[in-house]
A = this chain, B = another copy of it.
Amino acid sequence: MSQFQIHQQLLLDCHRLGRFELCHLLLHKNASVSWFILVPEIDGADDLLGLPDNVINLTMAEAKKVARFIKSGLGFQKINFATIGNVVPQLHLHIIGRRQDDCCWPAPVWGNLLEVSNYSAARIGTVKDILIRDYSLKVV
């Protein structure tokens, strides 16, 4: 049985949506931008570019799914994609839908997201249902 645990700070900041083959998918609680986070289930991983090629490629394939959902499902044209981890060392990837009229455009979201809004439970349920139905997300 896996001992893998998602970092406590990520669990505090996010709603859990489910998982793909490799990565857990989280939704940042701040709904002022559409901010998803992938956490590969790899014990001790802290560096995407230090992983073996096949693991990077699988991670990127799952990031691509999330980006497709952000574009096709949520109607964004622009994606910000990053793995930083200066505060939370556990490897996690940010995939964020951006719009020129969002609350911190054109700045990156980190440290600049002063506006806070919340998702309703119904909205989270809808997002999860679409990801399960069309993007092979699994319930955890």
A78 to chain B, nearest CB (A): 7
Q: Across the interface, do A84 and B80 meet the contact criterion of CB distance under 8 Å? A: yes
Q: Across the interface, do A49 and B63 meet the contact criterion of CB distance under 8 Å? A: yes
Q: Across the interface, do A108 and B86 meet the contact criterion of CB distance under 8 Å? A: yes
The CA-CA distance from A79 to B45 in the complex, in Å, is 13
Number of copies: 2
**Given A57-B53, A57-B57, A95-B49, is A106 in contact with B86 using a C-beta cutoff of 8 Å?**
yes
For A57, the closest partner residue in chain B by CB is: B57
Residue numbers in B under 8 Å from A83 (CB-CB): 80-82
Q: Which of A68, A84, A108 has the most CB of B within 10 A?
A: A84
Count class of interface residues, chain A: 20 to 34
CB 8 Å contact bits of A96-118 with B (1 = contact, 0 = none): 00100000011110111000000
A80 to chain B, nearest CB (A): 5
Q: Considering the complex of A and B, which 5 residue pairs feature the smallest CB-CB distances, nearest first?
A: A82-B82, A86-B106, A49-B67, A49-B64, A80-B84
Give 27 CB contacts A-B under 8 Å.
Answer: A47-B78, A49-B60, A49-B63, A49-B64, A49-B67, A49-B81, A50-B67, A53-B57, A53-B61, A56-B57, A57-B57, A78-B85, A78-B86, A80-B82, A80-B84, A80-B86, A82-B83, A82-B108, A84-B108, A86-B105, A86-B106, A86-B107, A86-B108, A87-B106, A107-B110, A108-B108, A111-B112
